Structures are given as structure tokens and as C-alpha cells.
Amino acid sequence: MRFDTVLIANRGEIAVRVIRTAKAQGYRTVAVYSDADGDAPHVAAADMAVRIGPAPARESYLDADRILDAARRSGAQAIHPGYGFLSERADFAQACAEAGIVFIGPTPDAIRAMGDKATSKRLMANAGVPMLPGYQGEEQTDERLLAEAERIGVPLMVKASAGGGGKGMRLVTDPAEVPDAIAAARREALSAFGSGVLLLEQALLTPRHVEIQVLGDEHGHVIALGERDCSIQRRHQKVVEESPSPAVDDLLRHKMYDAAVTAAQSIDYVGAGTVEFLLGEDGEFSFLEMNTRLQVEHPVTEFVTGLDLVDWQLRIAQGEHLTIAQDEVALSGHAIEVRLYAEDPTNQYLPAVGTVAHWDAPSGEGIRVDTGIGSGSVIGSHYDPMLAKLIAYGRDREEARRRLIGALERTRVLGVTTNRAFLADVLRHPGFASGEATTAFLGEHDFTGARTPSLRYLATAAAWLHRERERIAELRSPGFAGWTNAAGRSSMMQLCGNDIHLDRTATGLTVGIDGEEFHAQLGDRLTIDGATVDAVAVGTAPGRVLMAFPDLDLDLHDTLLDPPESAELGGSGVLTAPMHGTVTTTLVAVGDTVAAGDTLLILEAMKMERPVRADIDGVITEIASPGQQVAADDVLVRITSEEKAP
């Protein structure tokens, strides 16, 4: 079926990215949006936009009926699912076919075959794709799983057959821990995916995660388009991706190509997909899984191959032949991508919410930024917290790495906490720079420590706040701002617990902190000690400033006149939700006695789980229920201290 109108069943950066290529090809584009996304960039980018429901994803982006209805109302004959949401739902692809709408992706059968880990591993083993020793059988009794675990040995990985994202997954290094790991993985899998089916697999403790991009047409032609190294991960979620892999030579590359193409051909794969492998220290690789969609990290492949993968998705969906032969695929240069998230690495990667007060994406030679936000965008808790992808291309890996660090330093995002500094620290680390990092990298190196602003940064913030106060005073009393008959004017501030002394003279401002003095000029462009300040600042309230420096983002508030905090204050016993989310598990009940620090329940928000812990000793008098959806600041737990308990 031919089509000329494409509906993009997604949001954020991937929707913007698909719309860009589709419009360049002359297609009419249709965006869909929830109530949370009415003013989002992807809505403005499309030729037409259709509302599909309230903010919760299950009532909008995950509602197949609403998506299909939007396609009918807009006249779209094809749907591009992007990644996430409905992109790997075989029933959605089937529903599109039954509605006479082209699903821009693989067939429902191919999605179904690879959607279940156990099934996919059996299929790949039969096709001759390299596998780790394991068990993917249908018999799921504890006795059978324990027997298979003993056969495989440790280290052992226990995995949920359904789903992904690290849920229902346990690494076991002690045989005595196998029963508990099986029970915990099954319990988590049932809660997250509705299926307790598990598979067992020999674990590699320090592998690389290397994946092969494949592309297939409806006529049986499949090619491999290079590899991507995605070894920098936390909680099984990718953080940094690059192509080519520093660990793969031409001989190994072509072996992996052959395995990936075999995997795709064995299920008659059509469209863009990714076959993921684990690469051991001995150079042997084994099948991990196949993603039957466009990957988040596809831009690095586009850089090194010179191909537009969305362009080819559209062409293949139109029934065109794939005109590229395998021996015509050549990799040129090097590309690295990082994912910029609204999250706080110093607080267990807690997703952040808020309004983007300022957004300025970097540019420059070899730099690409895929984003779906802008200044004023509201970052809520209903969706994945990724704000943008920053990709750098270079003639070699080192040039790409330098360019990406520079791009991160030039990125300006204020109003929400991000992992920008964390990403730059990872790229600067000698272990990454050497190309030797494995999936154990973030476990071996800690980049989550709190970053203390330098005295120079504090002086810069103090000078900016002082300049703002003078500006406001001038507006209120033109010509009299700061008037005094003394030779100069002195004042104080307190930032980050530091007492700051300010002396204003006719020639500038002297800022004194902890025995050091800095001299500021308060013109249109702020300077400190004669050097122009490389920072962006936004004032959000009197005495408060958000500042983005190349290596650090700050949210500073002058606390000089704030009431002192009591050193005697302890926990309140009333625990509230830090953001919108769903209670997935409760570990205690009303009447239970708990101690400060005990985990009471698990809250899932923005695809991440956050434990909620007791802040005092006492007795549980109220607790939210599993499955309960909560808004920010809703009460989750009430604890009565032991002294007050009846």
C-alpha cells in the first residue's frame, strides 16, 4: 500500500527527528499529543496534530485505539512508532494491518518472535547464532530452574523472559543465593510484565555490549550497517553509545555481521532493527536480544555510514528494494552519543521535574543535537526523563570525544536538574578515553558525588545577584539606586553556607569569600578579575539565581535572612511522593514496627524505581496500596513514633 501521510505515534526528540526526515521526503506529517504535550516542539513541527488523551501514557501514547482513531481522523495511511510506547507491540502492528494502515516497522510475527527473550533465544540457537550456555525452557518449576542453575554454574544471570530495562533481572555469584534470586526475579517480573517466566544464562561479569544495526526489505535482502558499542550503562540502561566499537576489528566485525544478518533473516525481518550481543574478553560474542525498532542511539550509525535510517524505513515501508549491497557498507570516522536526562546523579539518579527556564543547544563542527524540548517546556513525571541526545562526529575517536565534551560544556539547560556534568566526567575519564570500558565501568568508577561550587563561581553568582538588585532598584527609583553619602556601599549575602561580603565602589564590586577577594565589573557582560564570565544566568525569584557554567549547573539562593534551621529537627514520620508515580510494591503493613532507614515501599516514576524509606522509628499507621497512582506531595506513609504509639 502506498502512502503520503505519516502519523508519528510518539513524542519528544524521536517524534521531532522522524518528522524532520518525513517532511524532507515530501510526506504530510501528523503528530499526536497528550494534554501534557499540547505546546511541545513535536506538535509544532508536524503539519497537523491530534489530541489523543490525558497525560498518563496508558491513556494516550500507549492506547492503540486512540492512535488508530487519530490516524483515521487525520487521513494518515502509515504510522511510524518511533521507539518505546507501542513500537514493539505485535498486537499494535497487527491492528494497523487490519485497519489498512502501514506499520513502519517489522511484521507482527517478527516482533512477536523477538519480544519474548526465551522464545527468541530458542529461535536464535536453532538458527546457529552464538549463544551463552543457559536455559530457556517452558518448564518453570522451581525444581527445574534450580537444577538448570546448578548445571550452568555461577556467575549466573536470572532474567524475566518478558519486558526489559533491567526489571526481573538478578546476578548471582554464590550458588546459595540462587533460590532467593529466582523468587525475587519472578516476583518482580510478575509485577512489571504480568508474566513470571524466567530464563537462566551464564553471566559475563565484564563484557562489552556491542550491537549490530540491520536493515531488511520486503524482498529478503538484509544488510548490517556497522556496530555500536553501548557498554557504558547503569542499571542496564545505556548512557553512552559509540560507533565503531574500539574493541572490534574487521575480522570480528564481519563475524558479527554474519550472525546479525542470520538472526534477521531467520524471522524474515523487514525494516530497521538491532541485534545485540555480549562480547567477552576472549573475543567471543553471544546473542543477547533483538530490538525490533529504531534504536535511541541510531544517530551514531547515521554519522559513520552517511545513511538516514528513517529515510530507509520509509522507503522500505513503501515496498522499495534495499539498493545497498553489504560490500558497499563502509564506516568512516567515529561518532559518540550521550543521553541528557532530567535526573540527579547525586541522589540515586532521581528523575527531576520542573520547567525549563533556559535551553540553548550546542552547535559546531560535527555536532548534532536531537531534542524535543525548548525554553518553557514542562518536564513532568509521566514520561521518560530524556531531554536530548548529543552526538559528536570526528575523524577519529579522540576528536569525537573532545568535540562531545565541548558540546556538553556549551549546553545550557536551567530549571531542571540534569546529568550534564556526570556525562562530561564519564567522557573525560582515562578508562573511557582509552577505549577499554566494559559494562562494569560505572560500577567501578563513581561519578555521582556532590559537586561543590568553587569560590569563583560563588563570587560570580553573588555579583550577578547584586547587579540584579541594582537594576531593580534603579527601575523603582531612577537615579537614586544605592544612594549613599559614604565613599562606598557594603552589604552581605549567604550562598551555600558561605558568608559573602560585597563592597560597591564607583569602579566595580569587590566580593569577599573565605578570605579571598574577587573584583567584578557589572556591565552588560559580567567580568570577574578582568575575565568575561562563561556562564548563563536566569533569575527565578528575588535572591535566587540559576547559573550554568561549563562544568556545573547551580541553583543558588541568598539565605542570609532565612530563619535558622534547628539542629534538633528529625524526621516527621510523614513521607510524601517526590513526583507523580505508581506504588509498585509495599514491604510493610499498617501496624508494623519499623526503624529509620527501613525500605517501606517502591515508587515507580518516569520508568525508574525509587525506594521510600522510614525517616523515624515507629509504627506504620497509614501506607499507600500497590498499584495506587499518586501525585507529587501525596502522602505515601505515616509513621507514629514509638513514644506516641498507643
Low-confidence ranges of the chain (pLDDT < 70): 163-165, 479-488, 564-570, 606-608, 642-646
Phi-psi region of 323 (alpha: psi -120 to 50; beta: other; left: phi over 0): alpha
Residue owning grid cell 555579583: 463
CATH of domain 5-104: 3.40.50.20
| Closest alpha carbon to 76 in 56, 55, 94, 50 | 50
**Partner residues linked to 499 by β-bridges:** 494
pTM, full prediction: 0.89
Largest CA distance in the chain: 90
What is the CATH T-level fold of the domain 455-557, as seen in this structure?
Answer: Glycoprotein, Type 4 Pilin (3.30.700)
* Strands 531-532 vs 527-528: parallel, antiparallel or unpaired: antiparallel
Helix (H) or strand (E) holding 141: none
CATH of domain 574-641: 2.40.50.100
Q: What is the dihedral of CA 437, 439, 444, 445, to 10 degrees?
A: 60
Residue owning grid cell 517524534: 15
Write down the pLDDT at residue 472.
87
Write down the pLDDT at residue 474.
80
Write down the pLDDT at residue 154.
95
Whole-angstrom Cα distance, residue 282 to residue 521? 60
C-alpha grid cell, residue 636 = 505515601
133-202 carries CATH number 3.40.50.970: no
Write down the pLDDT at residue 236.
83
Give yes or no on whether 133-202 and 574-641 have one common fold.
Answer: no
Q: Which CATH entry fits the domain spanning 209-444: 3.40.190.10, 3.40.640.10, 2.30.110.20, 3.30.470.20? A: 3.30.470.20
Contact 561, 577 (CB under 8 A): no
Write down the pLDDT at residue 603.
86
Whole-angstrom Cα distance, residue 393 to residue 399? 8
Write down the pLDDT at residue 632.
74
Q: What is the side-by-side order of every strand in the sheet holding 285-291?
A: 285-291, 271-279, 208-216, 222-234, 237-243, 334-341, 386-394, 367-371
Whole-angstrom Cα distance, residue 334 to residue 399? 8
- Taking CA atoms, 103 is separated from 111, 292, 297, 443, 502, in Å, by 12, 12, 21, 39, 64
| Closest alpha carbon to 537 in 471, 587, 465, 479 | 465
Percent composition of the chain: helix, strand, coil (DSSP 3-state, to 5):
30, 30, 40
3-class secondary-structure state, position 521: strand
Write down the pLDDT at residue 485.
45
DSSP letters for 171-240: EE-SGGGHHHHHHHHHHHHHHHHS---EEEEEPPSS-EEEEEEEEE-TTS-EEEEEEEEEEEEETTEEEE
Write down the pLDDT at residue 606.
62
Q: Cα 113 to chain center, whole Å?
A: 27
Contact 256, 285 (CB under 8 A): yes
Write down the pLDDT at residue 383.
92
The length of the chain is 646
| Closest alpha carbon to 48 in 21, 64, 70 | 70
Contact 381, 516 (CB under 8 A): no
Whole-angstrom Cα distance, residue 350 to residue 419? 10
Whole-angstrom Cα distance, residue 505 to residue 488? 5
Query: Could you tell me the residue ranges of all domains in the chain?
Result: 5-104, 133-202, 209-444, 455-557, 574-641
